C-alpha cells in the first residue's frame, strides 16, 4: 500500500518515506515477515522524533558513520594545514 504524503510533509519527509518507510512504523509493530502496522501517513514533528522510529541497531550504524565522517574531516584539516 502506497501512502500519499500530506501537503504539510516537507521534502525530507517525503524522501525518508521513499527510502526507509520502515522507520515510520514502531519497531515493536514490525513483524518478521513484514509490517504488522502501516507506516504513519505523515511525519508529525520529526525534530522531536515523533513518528520516526529508529532502532538501536540503526542508531549504532549511524554512530559509526558519524564518527568516521568526523575522523575524515580531521584528516582533511590536518592535510590542509
Q: Above 80 in pLDDT, residue 2?
A: no
Please work out, in degrees rounded to the nearest 5, the angle formed at the alpha carbon of residue 58 by the alpha carbons of 37 and 61: 165
Q: Are 51 and 40 in contact (CB under 8 A)?
A: yes
Whether 6 is covered by a domain: the verdict is no
Q: Is the separation of the CB atoms in 28 and 36 below 8 Å? A: no
Domain membership flag for residue 61: yes
Number of domains in the chain: 1
pLDDT at 1 over 50: no
For residue 3, is it within any domain? no
For residue range 51-71, what is the model confidence (pLDDT) as tens digits? 777 778 888 999 999 999 999
Q: Is 0.75 surpassed by the pTM of this model?
A: no
In a domain, 66, yes or no: yes
Range of 27's domain? 11-80
Amino acid at each position: 500500500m502506497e501512502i500519499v504524503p500530506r501537503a504539510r510533509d516537507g521534502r525530507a519527509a517525503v524522501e525518508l518515506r521513499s527510502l526507509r518507510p520502515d522507520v515510520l512504523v514502531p519497531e515493536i509493530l514490525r513483524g518478521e515477515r513484514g509490517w504488522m502496522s502501516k507506516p504513519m501517513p505523515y511525519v508529525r514533528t520529526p525534530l522531536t522524533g515523533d513518528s520516526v522510529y529508529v532502532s538501536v541497531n540503526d542508531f549504532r550504524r549511524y554512530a559509526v558513520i558519524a564518527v568516521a565522517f568526523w575522523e575524515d574531516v580531521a584528516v582533511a584539516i590536518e592535510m590542509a594545514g
